[in-house]
Structure 1
Amino acid sequence: MKEILEGSHAVAEAVRLCRPQVVSAYPITPQTHIVEALASMVADCKLDAEYICVESEFSALSACIGASTAGSRTYSATTSQGLALMYEVCFNAAGMRLPIVMTIANRAMSAPLSIWNDQQDSISLRDSGWIQLYAEDNQEALDLHLLAYRVCEDHDILLPAFVCFDGFILSHTYEPVDMPTQEEVDAYLPAFNPYQRLDAKDPISFGMYATPDYYMEFRYENQRAMLRAKEAIVRYGTLFKEQFGRDYSGLIEGYELEDAEIALVAMGSICGTVKDAIDEMRKDGIKVGLLKIRCFRPFPDEEIAAALAHVKTVAILDKNVSLGSKGAVGLEIKDALYGSSIAVYDYILGLGGRDIRKKDIRAITKLAEQGSGDMFYGLREELL
């Protein structure tokens, strides 16, 4: 059924359809509308779940860990400074192999304080052991929650996941979405079947102390699970396509990429603007295409190398910066294409919510074509 919903409410409806048994969250802009909507659903008996009100984001994810170890499907949401406060607990959730799904309404990190969108918050936790999925629009934001639960709860994976969508640009924007029915979602996402859980009759412990004789093997097992998640995302994305008609069978997605000489690489809502800019540039005879990264962790290095093998130039649009180096996506792409003859340039843009327009995409394409790259694009020189 087609509905016109604010992005946050579309996410909340998706979460409701996934039937979480415990929701624990602390409100923070621009994530607040998601958890407000879920609280109303619980209060109105539209969602049969325990809604835990906590005093901080640290406690929110800690409560999810407790609920997950007890055998409940759990959910949380946060952004920016809230995610930073969860830092320690994010590593705990991944290390304990708990399939928690959490929405990240991407927002810039302070200081200076900013409530507007970039992707620095989730990118900063790229090494924490969480699967990271990025939505281009609100339909994708809705769908990726169903996919995330299906992948995370697979007993060969058992990892938590971020479903990231751009704060305000998507979270507070109304778009038409196809809303599946509860019966359709139940057919796609089985009831939660925990691999193991706390049980007084069969006591076990989670997250125990590990000496150097044991710790490294735990991290290796996390790495193996993350790599297995690639295949699981493809498998359950293909199943999603068969059931709902929308294709999530790939970790990446191309647009006008088949004959492109220049490839723009991006993730998140900027991809919509890039597609519009590409349509205009194509009319002018510029052979440019888009490679959209939907899954940043696990990183689809082999898939990206294959998709970009025929292009001459790659321009990466990074809405984050690994200070002292480049953008995080740029670093990964350059590693994936290492040894090729492709010219690869990284552009940092849109930090703190600065507008990215079609003319900016065209200008970056020209810069890359001319061999000028690895820069902060759009700096206001008068402020420097």
Structure 2
Amino acid sequence: MALKYELSKIEVWDGNMAASHALRQAQIDVVAAYPITPSTPIVQNYGKFLSDGYIDGEFVMVESEHAAMSACVGAAAAGGRVATATSSQGFALMIEVMYQASGMRVPIVLNLVNRALAAPLNVNGDHSDMYLSRDCGWINLCTYNPQEAYDFNLMAFRISEDLRVRIPVIVNQDGFICSHTAQNVQPLSDDEAYAFIGEYKTKNALLDFSKPATYGAQTEEDWHFEHKAQLHHDLMKSSEVIEEVFGEFAKLTGRKYSLVETYDMSDADVAIVALGTTVESARIAAKNAREKGIRAGVVSIRSLRPFPYKQIAEALKNCKAIAMLDRSLPAGAMGMLFNEVGAALCQNAQNRPILSNYIYGLGGRDMTQNILLDIYQELSENAKAGKLTHPTQQFVGLRGAKMAFN
């Protein structure tokens, strides 16, 4: 029987500690992990909870991140509640097994503490690993601060294990800016948290010998397409369950989340679309831009997958100029947010706003208020001119010569 952990109404936690406590409260059966910066403290804290007697489950240290996700898949297929954490190169090593996990429909929660991908080697935060995860068939949720890292982990178990979903979930947080920055966090008690998540519901468990199941079957052209189509269908439909869980969490805590969230958008002519900790910085910049006469707003996304196309289009329907901020190297294309949001607006919006793409913050480079205000100023100029007056894609905060592409 695990010991009770005494929590205050307000704790001062960084994002990693917040995630660790959420995993502890979920009463996980198996955590399999191979530590990597900046996600190491999540599994390190979890291991200490186990050694101190606060956890009954198994904590398995393996020889690589590939092995970590392989162990998670096996444990989840066997019928257990499972979670892990990783970053950057570790996630890249996991990627083969990520497709196995989603294809086998095993409900795993992965904390992805976002960090740049080498080369050059860099331990600081950008969204390279988050963007790598887009097409592997996992639900992909985004947080902006330690409180949300805690909240979204609790909700991730509910979403992933729902019998209408049964798809693994990634919870993203920005490396160092969120993972290592302490803020006030209001946790639930252990009993409240576990009651919200609920008892684990098994489905097709390998250890249920009364109902034999097969995992990792080979399908070839006969059934492969159908399996993948079913995964895509259920992943797209999972937005309904995500919103339902958001609603129940709001009733419990008063903390409200949506697939798409807006700030000062009721009369905005120009808007920034962003992810991660940059969202809070952009909101400050929008307030400052309004003091300069620019009707500025911010739109942010909680669900990178399934991507909320209709909600994004609705949030941006009255804007004249929009900037998508991508914190990952596009490597020969426009950034992911630019492409995804542009598709949403092309398909669903009544007007055709002027779209810009700003690449920023690679390898942990700061996004400053001055840069954000410059972006709002350029958007305002585009909106007034009714056309692009600046390059479609710009690298901002870059040392040396300006890099831009039309």
Please indicate, yes or no, whether the TM-score normalized by the shorter chain is above 0.5: yes
2:362 aligns with: 351
SS of residue paired to 1:102? strand
8 Å CA contact retained: 1:2, 1:176: yes
Q: 1:28 and 1:181 mapped to 2: Cα distance?
A: 29
2:6 aligned with 1:9, yes or no?
A: no
Q: 1:383 and 1:377 mapped to 2: Cα distance?
A: 8
Q: 1:30 and 1:193 mapped to 2: Cα distance?
A: 32
2:179 aligned with 1:171, yes or no?
A: yes
Residue type matched to 2:242 in 1?
Answer: I
2:287 aligned with 1:299, yes or no?
A: no
> Residues 327-372 of structure 1, C-alpha deviation per residue, up to 9 Å, x if partnerless?
1111101111116421111111111111001111001112223332
Residue type matched to 1:348 in 2?
Answer: I
Report matched runs for 1:361-376 at 5 Å: 361-370=372-381, 371=388, 372=390, 373-376=392-395
Q: 2:211 and 2:142 mapped to 1: Cα distance?
A: 39
2:155 aligned with 1:147, yes or no?
A: yes
How big is the shift at 1:286? 1.3
Q: 1:361 and 1:383 mapped to 2: Cα distance?
A: 16
2:72 aligns with: 64
Residue type matched to 1:352 in 2?
Answer: G
8 Å CA contact retained: 1:254, 1:291: yes
Q: 1:383 and 1:236 mapped to 2: Cα distance?
A: 44
Q: 1:327 aligns with which of 326, 335, 340?
A: 335
Q: 1:145 and 1:211 mapped to 2: Cα distance?
A: 35
How big is the shift at 1:383? 9.9
8 Å CA contact retained: 1:321, 1:328: no
SS of residue paired to 2:248? helix
8 Å CA contact retained: 1:68, 1:74: yes
2:240 aligned with 1:221, yes or no?
A: no
How big is the shift at 1:7? 1.8
8 Å CA contact retained: 1:138, 1:175: yes
Q: 2:22 and 2:144 mapped to 1: Cα distance?
A: 16
How big is the shift at 1:170? 0.7
1:195 aligns with: 203
Paired positions, count: 383
8 Å CA contact retained: 1:24, 1:54: yes
8 Å CA contact retained: 1:132, 1:163: yes
* Range with greater deviation from structure 2 (144-153 or 339-348): 339-348
How big is the shift at 1:381? 2.2
2:384 aligned with 1:378, yes or no?
A: no
8 Å CA contact retained: 2:289, 2:376: no
Residue type matched to 2:372 in 1?
Answer: I
4+ residue stretches of structure 1 with deviation over 3 A? none
Q: 2:192 aligns with which of 184, 187, 190?
A: 184
2:355 aligned with 1:336, yes or no?
A: no
> Residues 269-299 of structure 1, C-alpha deviation per residue, up to 9 Å, x if partnerless?
1111111111211222210000011111000
Report matched runs for 1:50-129 at 5 Å: 50-129=58-137
Report matched runs for 1:271-282 at 5 Å: 271-282=279-290
> Residues 44-73 of structure 1, C-alpha deviation per residue, up to 9 Å, x if partnerless?
110111000100000001000010011000
**Gapped runs of 5+ residues in structure 2?**
1-8, 382-387
Residue type matched to 1:341 in 2?
Answer: R
Q: 1:111 and 1:367 mapped to 2: Cα distance?
A: 32
8 Å CA contact retained: 2:204, 2:211: no
How big is the shift at 1:200? 3.2
SS of residue paired to 1:231? helix
Residue type matched to 2:191 in 1?
Answer: E
Q: 2:110 and 2:366 mapped to 1: Cα distance?
A: 27
How big is the shift at 1:230? 0.7
* Range with greater deviation from structure 2 (134-143 or 317-326): 317-326
Q: 1:210 aligns with which of 210, 219, 222?
A: 219
Q: 1:64 and 1:336 mapped to 2: Cα distance?
A: 35
1:241 aligns with: 250
Residue type matched to 1:328 in 2?
Answer: M
SS of residue paired to 2:222? coil
How big is the shift at 1:382? 5.2
* Range with greater deviation from structure 2 (281-290 or 366-375): 366-375
Residue type matched to 1:357 in 2?
Answer: T
TM-score by length of 1: 0.97
Report matched runs for 1:257-272 at 5 Å: 257-272=265-280
8 Å CA contact retained: 1:314, 1:342: yes
SS of residue paired to 1:381? coil
> Residues 83-104 of structure 1, C-alpha deviation per residue, up to 9 Å, x if partnerless?
0000100000000001100000
SS of residue paired to 1:165? strand
2:264 aligns with: 256
**Gapped runs of 5+ residues in structure 1?**
none
8 Å CA contact retained: 1:147, 1:237: yes
8 Å CA contact retained: 1:117, 1:167: yes
> Residues 134-188 of structure 1, C-alpha deviation per residue, up to 9 Å, x if partnerless?
1111111110011111111111111111100000001111100001111211221
> Residues 174-221 of structure 1, C-alpha deviation per residue, up to 9 Å, x if partnerless?
100001111211221111101220033432211210120100000000
Question: Among the aligned pairs, what percent are the same residue?
Answer: 37
Q: 1:284 and 1:245 mapped to 2: Cα distance?
A: 34
Q: 2:293 aligns with which of 285, 289, 301?
A: 285
TM-score by length of 2: 0.92
